[in-house]
Amino acid sequence: MKEELSVLVQAQYPLIYLVTSEEERTEQAIAALAQVKPQKRVFVWTVTHGIVEYGQPRNITQHNTVSPEAAVEWVIRQRESGIFVFKDLHPFIDSPAVTRWLRDAIASFKESNKRDSLKTIVLMSPVQQIPIELEKEIAVLDYPLPDMTELNDVLSQQLDSMRGRRITTETREKLLKAALGLTRDEAEKVYRKAQVTAGRLTETEVDIVLSEKKQLIRRNGILEYLEEDGTLNDVGGSEDLKQWLSQRSAAFTERAREYGLPQPKGLLLLGVPGCGKSLIAKVTSRLWSLPLLRLDLGRVYDGSTVGRSEANLRNALKTAESISPAILFIDELDKAFAGSAGSADSDAGTSSRIFGTFLTWMQEKRSPVFVMATANRVERLPGEFLRKGRFDEIFFVDLPNEDERKQIFSIHLAKRRKEIDRFDIDQLSKMSDGYSGAEIEQAVIAAMYDAFAQDREFTQLDIIAAIKATFPLSRTMTEQVAALRDWARQRARPASDTGAEYQRLEF
Ligand code: ATP
């Protein structure tokens, strides 16, 4: 990243947009870059102080440069080479005068750069906001979170402050990996806290670092760390899908790379509500031994400022990448992107920009982030997701067939009672034709509540009564289920071989 920025500056890009919320760290990187020959001075603009030379006290400000227009004009007038950093110009950038001054600056830099004075304006802001007039002139860079090397500096400083305490290479690596996904400031805080809590930084403190990281990630509200303890045996049916997942359990290892295998990109799970799509995503995390991050797209939306929602999404994706290899779980993709195509009202505008940001990321991502998305309604899903190559596979998880329902009853009864032989599972399975896994689980729970209220153990009859009292979704949403099946039969791979059942079930 530093290299990319350096290349842009050397290549005389007049205007660079750096999307970052880590001002101090980014400023330091720019200052270091300015030392490379030919050396350049660095000036920083803020709306509170106007233009101040980097490293100088804030009161040594350039006169009358608080207004953005005056500041850009001042920059144009400079004869020497320099990097001019504008912090948080985004609230002003849409004003006609500011846009015009920036265009004037670009034109004048092109001239002056020919005469060997190299000038670059860097717009630094946590939100990306670019007026159309500047779109073609600006190079946008997302400043990434610190990598292992940079975190190593942070850790070394922390260890130095502990009178040069030494740790083994293995412990160091674990402490570094545990902090991946944090900003430099956050990593500093987490290491300090682990050290204060335990009075040292050893392998046992890795857990403190990890749990602190989970807290921080939770606080940003868009990504959530899910901890799962289920295994594939907790999922009834979906045998083909389970096999697909098992086959790929070592897909993110070095061994797979050496073998020449590409990294899997992602999986889209379509299906009837309550058939275990989310459950499957969760157990995959355990099966592949990868952390599971849930991306809540509903929380990405933020209408407070234009560009805020995209910035939220970009930050969340950046965090996921820095924790990778990881699974990024997106539930109900159809809901999040419904309405992204078409109408031009402001909400649809935000929604389609977010959709664009997400698609571009999926297309370009190199880091091992496996996307597991679920959807119930295909007609609401933008067609781009369904094109070949976007996901490795699109699986359709249908209502369970008789055999699968047997497995699901066994799983949920065995979860709650040691002895399950007293239940006639064949009968329960036959009676629950058209029921989803979630509805089967609910029937078992309802039976237990009934019996519990009467202060007795629950029986086969209680479950039968609960099944009869349930009106399954497949019956209330007959048309939707039929439409989804029709669609899926042609375009998605069935999660299990339930072909015979398709013909038999009439909805
Ligand atoms: P939705 O589309 O409504 O999110 P879903 O298909 O993701 O539904 P889950 O949320 O995974 O379904 O299912 C809810 C619960 O139902 C699961 O946590 C699990 O307890 C139970 N369940 C569903 N399907 C199965 C299954 N095939 N095997 C075992 N349990 C299941």
pLDDT digits (tens, 9 = 90+) for 175-223: 887 788 788 888 888 888 777 766 666 666 677 777 777 777 776 678 8
- Find the 376 Cα to ligand 1 centroid distance in Å: 12
Per domain, the residue ranges of the chain are 2-142, 148-220, 226-397, 402-433+437-471
Portion of the chain with pLDDT greater than 90, in percent:
33
- Non-local (6+) Cβ contacts of 336 within 8 A are 297, 298, 300, 330
- What top-level class would CATH report for the domain 402-433+437-471? mainly alpha
Architecture of the domain defined by 148-220: Orthogonal Bundle (1.10)
Residue nearest to atom 16 of ligand 1 (CA): 438
Per-residue model confidence (pLDDT) at position 505: 42
Per-residue model confidence (pLDDT) at position 145: 80
* Alpha helical stretches, state H, 53-183: 68-77, 96-114, 132-135, 148-161, 169-179
Q: What is the distance of C-alpha 351 from the center of its chain? A: 16
The more confident residue out of 404 and 173 is 404
Portion of the chain with pLDDT greater than 70, in percent:
91
329-378 pLDDT, tens digit per residue, is: 998 888 877 655 544 444 657 777 788 888 888 888 888 899 999 988 88
Given the DSSP bridges, would you call strands 119-125 and 369-375 parallel, antiparallel or unpaired?
unpaired
| Bond into 325 cis (ω within 30) | yes
CATH code: domain 226-397 is: 3.40.50.300
Q: For residue 504, what pLDDT band results from cuts at 50, 70 and 90? A: very low
Q: Which of 239, 268, 275 to mutate to test the pocket of ligand 1 (most atoms within 8 A of CB)?
A: 275
Q: Which of 233, 377, 398, 441 to mutate to test the pocket of ligand 1 (most atoms within 8 A of CB)?
A: 441
- Using the predicted structure, report yes or no on whether residue 502 has a pLDDT greater than 50: no
236-258 pLDDT, tens digit per residue, is: 988 999 999 999 988 887 788 88
- Using the predicted structure, report yes or no on whether residue 60 has a pLDDT greater than 50: yes
Q: What is the strand order of the sheet 493-494 is part of?
A: 223-226, 292-295, 326-330, 369-375, 266-271, 393-397, 493-494
Per-residue model confidence (pLDDT) at position 50: 92
Q: What is the CA radius of gyration of the chain?
A: 28
Same fold? 2-142, 148-220: no
DSSP tally for the chain: helices H, then strands E: 23, 13
Our answer on whether the CB atom of 438 is closer than 6 Å to any ligand 1 atom is yes
Of 155-164, 468-477, 487-496, which gets the smallest average pLDDT?
155-164
The more confident residue out of 425 and 484 is 425
Our answer on whether the CB atom of 376 is closer than 6 Å to any ligand 1 atom is yes
The pTM is what? 0.72
Homologous superfamily assigned to 2-142: P-loop containing nucleotide triphosphate hydrolases (3.40.50.300)
- Using the predicted structure, report yes or no on whether residue 432 has a pLDDT greater than 80: yes
Q: 340 is written with which tokens?
A: 């992204």
Mean of the per-residue pLDDT values for the chain? 84
At 505, is the secondary structure helix, strand, or coil? coil
Our answer on whether the CB atom of 372 is closer than 6 Å to any ligand 1 atom is no
